[in-house]
Copies of this chain bind each other. A is one copy, B any other.
């Protein structure tokens, strides 16, 4: 199945969840990670890891699956853009 549109990077979505005017430094402190790490995520220079998803969900009161799911969709879309081998569906001897 191919995704029609380039899904947003989770970091881009995360931006919208940060309160207007909150600095990267403040958010990083709340998440107990370095501001460098958060900056990279926000600028799509790094993805959402399971540990990061847990932190985000605790802080923003969402599910970790939401964040990891976004990352998954992004990873999948990226992989789909790469040249891929032709794989013949398995033959299961239906009858």
Is the Cβ of B92 less than 8 Å from the Cβ of A19?
Answer: yes
| A95 interface contact, C-beta 8 A | no
Q: Decide if the interface of chain A is mainly helix, strand, loop or mixed.
A: helix
A50 to B84, CA, bound (A): 12
CB-defined contacts of A68 to chain B, threshold 8 Å = 72, 75-76
A85 to B28, CA, bound (A): 13
CB-defined contacts of A80 to chain B, threshold 8 Å = 54
A38 to B50, CA, bound (A): 23
Is the Cβ of A19 less than 8 Å from the Cβ of B50?
Answer: no
Is the Cβ of A72 less than 8 Å from the Cβ of B65?
Answer: yes
Is the Cβ of B59 less than 8 Å from the Cβ of A79?
Answer: no
A64 to B84, CA, bound (A): 14
| A4 interface contact, C-beta 8 A | no
| A43 interface contact, C-beta 8 A | no
CB-defined contacts of A6 to chain B, threshold 8 Å = none
